[in-house]
Structure 1
Amino acid sequence: MPTRTVRTVPEPEAARRVEAIIERRARCDDPDREKLCDEPLELVAYVLAHRRVPEEVLRRDVPDALVLLEYARRAVPVLPGRLDRLEHRLLTLGTEIGLSLGELAAALGLRSRQAVQHRLLRHAAAERGGPRSEVAERAARRAEERERAWLDRHGADLLSCTERLLAHRDLLAAAGGELGEAFDELAESLSRVPGPADPRRTADLRHTTRHVTRTRHLAARLRLLLADLAASGAAAEIPAGHPVHALLARTTRLATAHQSALPTS
């Protein structure tokens, strides 16, 4: 891993950044400002934890907080791991509220947008418990993008089939017991994922990490239920022409295909 660039931040500049954040929070009547302090690292943590302020305030706070982190790397005795975690959270917040990579690079004393991208990739690798390798992280990102692409094409069908399968619960789990519990768990998972007709399901939402994670969890429970149904022979008791047979076959194909699209660890 290449040696990281650390911006040299003079103490007077750090003091100005501290004062700017505190004054900005006072002007906007930050409801949490009673918890403000003038210690650089605690102020950085405050910016991350207390966001009940106009977005424009956050857009100005984040670069100031990044400068304070660079000051702390040379002037404050603290574990580097904490600084890295704070930096990752600040960079993530900055991109979420629309700061450009160039603005973030300037605050960190970096020369290019690409340098910020590389730092984000290394932080992400560390958060995942892997080596701080941009190559490994890029490979993991590509794998996740493959899963997201599969969900873009087939996710609505997967959710629709799950919903229809739950509608046949009384028919498939007539005996109750473990199958009933499996249906309960599947219904709980489905309730956490916006469905095809749900107004919460927007084009942007489909691409969020939380949505992908919840769909992945739903699909895992769905595969467990399908395996239990196959082992129990519940479908064998249903007349051959019943539409539930075609539904089970289609749902099984989708659940299996999604499993094949999952990133490998």
Structure 2
Amino acid sequence: MPEKTEIKVSKAAGQEAIEAIIERRQNAGDAGAEHLLHDDPTENPLPVLNHLLQQRHHRRHLITDADVLDALLVLGYIRSQDIPHVPAVINRLEHELLELGRALKIPLIRLAEPLGLRSAQAVDHRILRARAAANGLPRNERVERAHRLAATPDTSAANREARWYDRNALKLYDTAGELIALRRKHDELLDDDLAKQIIDLARAHREMVWPLSPDSYPTLRWMAHTMLGIVEDLEQDYEEFRAKAEELLPEMAKLARGQHHARFGS
């Protein structure tokens, strides 16, 4: 699965979006808009996007919601029409446009459409991942939290946690396996964020070593915390996939929250 969903934008739609941005710049009295016409902007649209983003520092009041949405669509046009570009530059522009959209209070669900995403939550996750990458932080805060918790066990709860694993480790493992299989069967119902979490779960599932021993606990903690994050997301979004996981979801929630209680007592 690719790390990023990429919408396919036709040449006509991309060029129309570019022309609309330039026309709005001209109508707003933007003196720099005429310069954008010197080179064919439909063949080299990056100057249009860079110019628009430059305006956010001094003339943000002239930038409209439509400018941001069209600019995001232009990124899809660049990616899908083989226009020469550096992926890292396009990713940076996307993040800056999303941050601009948030500053303009554009609803995240509106920002989702030109990105080919299906939910406001997916847009929010993409913004957070880009912020984390820009700051040299882990891209998945939930996974980082699971790492941290697994690395610093609470010895006062060790016996309670061990008893829980004795009763439930195999159930946790089997339930994770069912979810992983369900993801393979219905991958088209997931966005990148949920798919990434299930891929992380599958990695831990493969690393699990039997028979059960204290050496297995870090892997089981990882699985439980990752599963808890998946449960929380499914309870709020992903209606179609949630319907497919309807019988599995209660068991996932019970096990993930049970492990959390066994470890932390809350």
- TM-score under structure 1 length normalisation: 0.48
Higher relative contact order (CA 8 A, sep 6+): 2
Of the two, which has the highest radius of gyration?
1
